[in-house]
């Protein structure tokens, strides 16, 4: 598992003249001048059950390289163009996909999967774990933490608005974004989140109710 690295070429992995087997790795949030995810040169590796995501340029193949991908998730943020510079394009073949893996921490702070991740064994047709880390209860993930950075800020409102109007809200776990517990994500959830963040409006239904105050020892119950 590699993340948050920076190299001139191949921020996550650089393969040259190698037929390595790369299995159950998470390669995410790498930065590189060229090929942030995996750079493959004169190689034909087997890459199986791996997540390659949020590296910008996910894959790059040069010099007669012919990698084989099986049950991998190669995902580029919707804000960036698709970067699969390997031939043939293998998404949709042999269990390979191109979807948000849904990490607990959206900025690389926690690369465990949320329970609804398509990379969890329960949520993909192959029934296999894709990536290095299994699903987690995401202890740092709380109600309203839309950007999954462990804090409740204006950024959460901005991301929720963006996802709602781009019709990509289905990427969000309902326990985090369904602030009115309606079973759907709507503009009302945006209003509730903004109100809760700035101290007005109703409390989101997914925020646990405070425990009742302890009874005084001299308090009596009247019939």
* CA gap 121, 137 in Å, rounded: 15
Distant-in-sequence, close-in-space partners of 145: CB < 8 Å, separation ≥ 6: 151, 152, 156, 176
Question: pLDDT for 113-133, tens place per residue?
Answer: 888 889 999 999 999 999 999
Residue 51, beta-bridge partner list:
26, 73
66 has pLDDT over 60: yes
Which sequence spans correspond to the domains of the chain?
2-138, 142-204
* CA gap 146, 142 in Å, rounded: 9
Give me the CATH topology for the region 142-204. Answer: Type 1 dockerin domain (1.10.1330)
Claim: this prediction has a pTM higher than 0.85? no
pLDDT band at 83 (very low <50, low <70, confident <90, very high): low
209 has pLDDT over 80: no
Q: Is 156 exposed, middle or buried (0-12, 13-18, 19+ CB in 10 A)?
A: buried
Mean per-residue pLDDT, 61-65 = 90
């Amino acid at each position: 598992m590699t993340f948050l690295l920076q190299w001139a070429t191949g921020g996550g992995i650089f393969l040259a003249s190698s037929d390595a087997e790369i299995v159950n790795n998470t390669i995410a949030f790498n930065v590189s001048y060229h090929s942030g995810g995996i750079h493959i040169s004169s190689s034909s590796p087997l890459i199986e059950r791996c997540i390659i995501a949020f590296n910008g340029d996910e894959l790059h193949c040069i010099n007669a390289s012919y990698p084989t991908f099986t049950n991998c998730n190669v995902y580029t943020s919707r804000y960036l163009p698709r970067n699969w510079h390997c031939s043939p394009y293998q998404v949709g073949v042999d269990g390979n996909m191109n979807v948000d893996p849904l990490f607990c921490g959206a900025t690389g702070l926690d690369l465990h999967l949320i329970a609804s991740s398509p990379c969890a064994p329960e949520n993909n047709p192959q029934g296999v774990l894709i990536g290095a880390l299994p699903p987690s209860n995401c202890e740092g993930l709380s109600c309203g933490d839309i950007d999954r950075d462990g804090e409740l800020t204006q950024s959460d409102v901005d991301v929720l608005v963006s996802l709602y109007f781009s019709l990509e809200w289905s990427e969000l776990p309902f326990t985090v974004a369904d602030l009115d517990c309606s079973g759907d994500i709507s503009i009302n959830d945006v209003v509730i989140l903004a109100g809760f963040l700035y101290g007005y409006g109703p409390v989101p239904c997914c925020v646990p109710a405070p425990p009742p105050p302890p009874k005084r020892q001299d308090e009596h119950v009247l019939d």
